[in-house]
Amino acid sequence: MTTVIDGKQVAASVIDAVKAASQTLQDETGIKTGLAVVIVGNDPASHAYVSAKSRMAKECGFTSVQHTLPEETTQEELAALVQTLNADESLHGILVQLPLPKHLKSEPIIQSILPEKDVDGLHVVNAGKVATGDLDGGLVSCTPAGAMVFVRRTHGEDLSGLNAVVIGRSNLFGKPMAQLLLAANATVTIAHSRTKDLPAVCHGADILVAAVGRPQMVKADWVKPGATVIDVGINRIAAPERGEGRFRLVGDVAFAECAEVAEVITPVPGGVGPMTIAMLMANTVIAAYRKAGKKAPKF
């Protein structure tokens, strides 16, 4: 019987743990966890994400601060806001919603966030800590951290002897995901657009993670029978059956056929997606514990 992971349910369990941790911190030290979310411009999808993050932060019992800046904000103005947030002792996490409007450079902004407040896990210091296996010292990028919760709940903490294949080598997902699997003792292959015979490479995977951005690319005959398949892709495809001009979301995995072969699989939507915001909350409370000099909880 194939297990379809319910990402919403797992994310809700992480959020419950975050709420409990932030309450404990407040009871023991009087410190309230604080998250600042910054958005520039008018992109409707980004506004929806930011509202969801601010709402969830409040639900977790955090101080939640949202800065909504106009489209014409300059690089200097945005950099100055980050410096103010860096200096604000009541804030433990800073998130700048990406992508920024085209006239702004995101990299210098991300790198100007204090690494200990970089709850998106995108600062080079945090990426470097993940790369060197220092998982307790840095903040791990939210989507790979969320995908690893599924891996741990399926296979436990130690992946010794298991082969993992990650399709995709982005800094945002593929590379940190591979490093997290490696830190858990899996034997890891990173595949990408130049990989020869991708179906054969994938077929060797006990844990197959797809983060490509190509709708339903992974087919059933790429999947090793009994494998765990984690689909990170989010692709919008035409859905004429829902009416003219309508769309639906699919992953990078052809779900129905792969579910026949895999033992554990994540759906899209409702798989990895809900974990990203949950891990953002987890990173924020971890940052608050560290700032208070207390041992941070694990999620």
Ligand X SMILES: NC(=O)c1ccc[n+]([C@@H]2O[C@H](COP(=O)([O-])OP(=O)(O)OC[C@H]3O[C@@H](n4cnc5c(N)ncnc54)[C@H](OP(=O)(O)O)[C@@H]3O)[C@@H](O)[C@H]2O)c1
Cα–Cα dist 180/152, whole Å: 11
Query: Taking contact as CB under 6 A, which single stretch among the options 57-65, 128-136, 186-194, 237-245 is the one that binds ligand X?
Result: 186-194
Cα–Cα dist 163/188, whole Å: 6
- Give yes or no for residue 179 binding ligand X (CB under 6 A): no
Question: DSSP for 58-124?
Answer: HHTT-EEEEEEE-TT--HHHHHHHHHHHHH-TT--EEEE-SSPPTTS-HHHHHHHS-GGGBTT--SH
- Give yes or no for residue 29 binding ligand X (CB under 6 A): no
Instruction: Please tell me which residue in 117, 118, 120, 216 is annotated as part of the active site.
Output: 120
Name the region of 213 (left: φ>0; alpha: ψ -120 to 50; beta: rest): left
Least distance to ligand X from the beta carbon of 161, Å?
26
Instruction: Give catalytic status of residue 111 as yes or no.
Output: no
Cα–Cα dist 31/13, whole Å: 23
- Give yes or no for residue 233 binding ligand X (CB under 6 A): yes
| Per-residue contact string for residues 130-149; x = within reach of ligand X by CB under 6 A | -------------x------
Sorted by sequence, the CB contacts under 8 Å of residue 200 that are 6+ apart come out as none
Instruction: Please tell me which residue in 8, 16, 75, 97 is annotated as part of the active site.
Output: 97
CA angle 25, 27, 33 (to 5 degrees): 40
- Give yes or no for residue 174 binding ligand X (CB under 6 A): yes
| Per-residue contact string for residues 256-275; x = within reach of ligand X by CB under 6 A | ----------------xx--
Instruction: Give catalytic status of residue 9 as yes or no.
Output: no
Least distance to ligand X from the beta carbon of 24, Å?
28
Between 162 and 210, CB nearer to ligand X: 210
Nearest to 249 by CA among 216, 212, 221, 211: 216
Between 61 and 121, CB nearer to ligand X: 121
Distances (CA, A) of 61 to 21, 106, 202, 281: 10, 29, 42, 10
Query: Taking contact as CB under 6 A, which single stretch among the options 36-44, 75-83, 150-158, 208-216 is the one that binds ligand X?
Result: 208-216
Query: Which residue type occupies 117?
Result: K
Between 269 and 297, CB nearer to ligand X: 269
Determine the size of the site formed for ligand X (CB under 6 A): 25
Between 174 and 267, CB nearer to ligand X: 174
Cα–Cα dist 11/274, whole Å: 6
CA angle 4, 8, 13 (to 5 degrees): 110
Burial of 235 (0-12, 13-18, 19+ CB in 10 A): middle
- Give yes or no for residue 283 binding ligand X (CB under 6 A): no
Residue 270 structure tokens: 């409702």
- Give yes or no for residue 276 binding ligand X (CB under 6 A): yes
Instruction: Give catalytic status of residue 53 as yes or no.
Output: yes
Between 21 and 209, CB nearer to ligand X: 209
- Give yes or no for residue 211 binding ligand X (CB under 6 A): yes
Of the candidates 36, 39, 198, 261, which one interacts with ligand X according to CB under 6 A?
198
Least distance to ligand X from the beta carbon of 191, Å?
6
Question: What angle do helix axes 174-183 and 142-155 make, rounded to 10 degrees?
Answer: 40
- Give yes or no for residue 105 binding ligand X (CB under 6 A): no
Q: Which residues contact ligand X by CB under 6 A?
A: 143, 167-170, 172-174, 191-195, 198, 211-214, 232-235, 272-273, 276
Catalytic residues: 53, 97, 120
